[in-house]
């Protein structure tokens, strides 16, 4: 799903592209990588901020058990 962005008066219709948007509420980013690094979490947080969504899931399919490959991130939630 493309995300349009505007920067210094220039509009980009496909500035970013998220993998899945579930029920117009949850952003899902799909990966198959050795390990989830901070840059992957920041990518998902950027998508959450740009779409004004609160919840995101980072799914890494390169794991033995899927429960070990799920990272949940929240945007603008007090800890």
The predicted structure's pLDDT at residue 1: 76
The predicted structure's pLDDT at residue 78: 59
Q: Measure the CA–CA gap between 59 and 65, rounded to whole angstroms.
A: 12
The predicted structure's pLDDT at residue 11: 85
Between the CA of residue 15 and those of 6, 64, 78, what are the distances in Å? 8, 33, 28
Q: Measure the CA–CA gap between 68 and 59, rounded to whole angstroms.
A: 9
Domains of the chain by residue range: 19-74
Rounded mean pLDDT, 1-22: 83
Task: Judge whether residue 28 has pLDDT over 60.
Answer: yes
Model confidence, pTM: 0.81
Q: Measure the CA–CA gap between 48 and 61, rounded to whole angstroms.
A: 21
Q: Measure the CA–CA gap between 42 and 53, rounded to whole angstroms.
A: 14
Q: Measure the CA–CA gap between 64 and 70, rounded to whole angstroms.
A: 12
Q: Give 40-60 pLDDT, tens digit per residue.
A: 999 999 999 988 999 999 999
């Amino acid at each position: 799903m493309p995300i349009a962005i505007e920067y210094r008066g220039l509009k980009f219709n496909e500035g970013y592209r998220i993998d899945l948007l579930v029920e117009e509420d949850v952003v899902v980013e799909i990966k198959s990588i050795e390990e989830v690094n901070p840059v992957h979490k920041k990518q998902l947080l950027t998508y959450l901020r740009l779409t004004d969504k609160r919840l995101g899931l980072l799914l890494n399919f390169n794991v033995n058990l899927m429960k070990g490959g799920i990272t949940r991130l929240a945007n603008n939630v007090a800890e």
